[in-house]
Amino acid sequence: MPRALLLENIDQVAADALRAAGFEVESRRGALDEADLVEALDGVDVLGIRSKTQVTADVLRRRPDLCAVGAFCIGTNQIDLTAAAAAGVAVFNAPYSNTRSVVEMALAEIIILARRLVDRDRALHAGTWDKSATGSHEIRGRTLGIVGYGNIGSQLSVLAEALGMRVVYYDLEDKLALGNAERCNTLEELLERAEAVTLHVDGRGGNAGLFGAEQFARMRPRSLFLNLSRGFVVDHEALRDNVLSGHIAGAAVDVFPEEPREQGDPFDSVLRGLPNVVLTPHVGGSTQEAQYDIGRFVAGKLVDYSRSGTTTLSVNLPTVVLHGSSAARFALLHRNEPGVLARADALVGEHGLNVDGQVLATRGGLGYAVTDVSAPLPPGLVAALQALPETVRLTVGPAPD
C-alpha cells in the first residue's frame, strides 16, 4: 500500500481522497524542519505540504523513493523544483483555488484601513468612546495600485472597480487590463498615482526586498499599504518608520519574513502595536471554502499521477495525459536525448508486447513518456527499461480503467 504524509493541517478532504485511492495516510498539524522531514519521509511515496515546510535538494537526495509532492497552496518556492525534476519527483500546486479568499480579504482590509476601524475598535475595547469622522474616508473614487497582475491581482482589480475605485497596476509581464484598469509602465509610476498600494507578487528570488524605504518614499502622503504576497518582499523596518511618521496612513500585513512553524507558537514583529495597522497570521487564503477546494484539487492531481502517470498542471514535469485502457502501463521519465523512446519501444517489441497507446512530452532537459502495452510487463522488460542510461524514474502498473 502506498503511503502519503500530509503536513501543516491540510484539509481532511485530501486525506479522504488519498485513502479512497488506496493510500495509507498520516496527517500532522505543523511543519517540519529538514532533519525531521527526512526522518518522517521514510517509506513515504507522496508528501503534502503548505508554505512552511522546505523540500530541499538534500531532502530529495536522501529520500529517493519519494514520487510526488503536493503543495496545498499557490506558491512552490518552498520546493527545489529543479532538484525535484532531476529526481523524478512530480510537484503539483493549487494556482487558483484560494484566489477569491485573498481578494476578499484585501478588499476588506482596504475598507478597514480607510475607515480607521482598527483604531476605533481598540479604543472601544479600552473603554473609550471615540465617535469621530477624523481620518475616515470612503474608498469610492480612490485609486488602487496593484503590484502583480496575476490571478489574484486581476480579480481584485475587477471587484475594486465594482466598488467605485480607479485601478492602476504594474507587472513585469505585459498583462491585458481587465475592465477600466490602466497599466503602469514602471513601479515608480504606480506609486506616484495610487492612494492605496497592494502587493500580489510571486515568490521568485528576484522579488526579495522589492519594497523598501525608497518605494515608501515615492508613495503619496497618507497612502495605504497592503502585503498579502510574500514576507521577504517588504522591509518591515522601513514600513514601521513610515507608519510612525504618518507618511503611510495605514497598513495591512499577512505575511512575514520569519513565521512561526505551528499554531500557538510565539510571534514578534516590529509592526506590532502600530496605529491603524492590521496584522494577520498568513490567513489570506485560509477560508474553509478555499482549504477544502485546495485539498480536493491537489489530492486529485496526486491520485491521477499515481494511478495513470498523468502530469496535468505539474509545475516541474512535462505535461502528459494518456486516455484509454490496456493490459498495463509504464511511465518513463528520462533525460531528453534523441532515441530514448525508440529504444524503449524496441524493448517492448523484443519482449513480445505491442504498444497500444503512447504519449510523449518534453520540458527542458526532461522527457516523459506514458505507454500502454498489450499484456502485463514481464520482469525482464521492467529491468531493461530501468537500465536505460537516460532513465530518471520508471513507474509501472496496470493501465487505468
| Residues tagged active-site | 230, 259, 282
Cell numbers at residue 139, please? 474608498
Facing residues of 197 across strands? 145, 225
Cell numbers at residue 379, please? 520482469
Secondary structure element (H or E) that encloses residue 90, with its range: strand 90-92
Secondary structure element (H or E) that encloses residue 61, with its range: helix 57-62
The three-class DSSP label of residue 238 is helix
Q: Considering Cα of 47, then 48, then 53, then 56, what sign does the dihedral take? A: positive
Calpha distance 89→317 (Å, rounded): 8
Helix 12-20, helix 288-308: angle, nearest 10: 20
Calpha distance 187→171 (Å, rounded): 8
CB of 327 closer than 8 Å to CB of 373:
yes
Cell numbers at residue 4, please? 502519503
Residues 6+ positions from 108 with CB-CB distance below 8 Å: none
Facing residues of 265 across strands? none
Cell numbers at residue 52, please? 512552511
> What is the 3-state composition of the chain as percent helix, strand, coil, each rounded to the nearest 5?
35, 20, 45
